[in-house]
Amino acid sequence: MRIYQTENYQQMSKKAANIIAAQIISNPESILGLATGSTPIGTYKNLVKKYQDGDIDFKGITSINLDEYVGLSKDDDQSYRYFMNDNLFNHVNIDINNTYVPDGTQKDAELECKKYDEIIKKSGGIDLQLLGIGQNSHIGFNEPDSVFTFGTHCVDLTENTINANARFFDDINKVPKKAYSMGIGNIFSAKKILLVASGENKAQAVYDSFFSAITPNVPASILQLHSDVILVADKDALKIVNDKGLI
């Protein structure tokens, strides 16, 4: 694993965008696995700027997002499809037909999950998977569990995640309780993984995931076994790792 420690969120965002831009430049037909949440917003801002400056071109890019809330439509401003359109797709020349997010309005969970696994398979595999990390070390919506789930599945969100995501909603009762999420196997199958983390509230998750035991109770810990992981984190997110002298 390669670790880039940055001074702050802005530098983290810039570094992560540079890594994604390098992927797009080296393979203009890359399959990008993309993530939502507050952490990647700065990364997307930097990518939009690089596009506007003519440094990168999204024409041949396909994107496959990690997850979506069950019950939210693409027009709901809390849906992850809306987030992706708003933060990235509406501002670059990606073909919207080549952007995939699970369909939160699909009531047949088994069908939706099967369809999504098929999309990933048909794409030929994700070249670079961008990930945030939850305070409970979830990746996508793979919550702490007794097993690692391989494929796309319907998840009951934990109280920790519902509380963490309540900040985006005007009422905690409006936070959806379920989500469709790529599985750990889908994520692990990506050729390259780029995980971004910022802030001291992620320090425990970063330490547990990358410097402690591998267990499904710490979903991101499986990434220790992946051969090409880049962690871009600011010094607050690496606080415990630094305090313990591990890097």
Choose which of 37, 42, 102, 176 interacts with ligand PGA (CB under 6 A). Answer: 37
Pick 62 or 137: Cβ nearer ligand PGA: 137
Pick 35 or 241: Cβ nearer ligand PGA: 35
- Per CB under 6 A, which region of 31-39, 49-57, 91-99, 120-128 contacts ligand PGA? 31-39
CB 215, min distance to ligand PGA, A: 18
Cβ neighbours, 10 Å, residue 205 = 23
- Residues 184 and 155 sit within 8 Å (Cβ to Cβ): no
| Size, binding site for ligand PGA by CB under 6 A | 6
CB 17, min distance to ligand PGA, A: 15
DSSP assignment letter at 96 = G
| Closest CB to ligand PGA: residue number | 37
Pick 53 or 77: Cβ nearer ligand PGA: 77
CB 136, min distance to ligand PGA, A: 9
Pick 16 or 24: Cβ nearer ligand PGA: 16
DSSP assignment letter at 212 = S
Catalytic residues: 67, 136, 138, 143
CA-to-CA distance for 121 and 114, rounded, in angstroms?
A: 11
Edge-first strand listing for the sheet containing 178-181: 67-69, 178-181, 153-156
For position 183 contacting ligand PGA by CB under 6 A, the verdict is no
- Residues 18 and 122 sit within 8 Å (Cβ to Cβ): no
Structure tokens at 97: 């037909």
CB 189, min distance to ligand PGA, A: 19
DSSP assignment letter at 143 = -
Pick 108 or 185: Cβ nearer ligand PGA: 185
Q: At what angle do helices 9-26 and 41-52 cross, to 10 degrees?
A: 50
Interaction with ligand PGA in 119-148: which residues (CB under 6 A)? Answer: 132-134
CA-to-CA distance for 64 and 43, rounded, in angstroms?
A: 17
Alpha carbon separation from 181 to 52, 97, 155 (Å, rounded): 31, 20, 7
CB 245, min distance to ligand PGA, A: 26
Closest residue by Cα to residue 17 from 37, 36, 39, 45: 45
Q: Provide the binding-site residues for ligand PGA, judged by CB under 6 A.
A: 37-39, 132-134
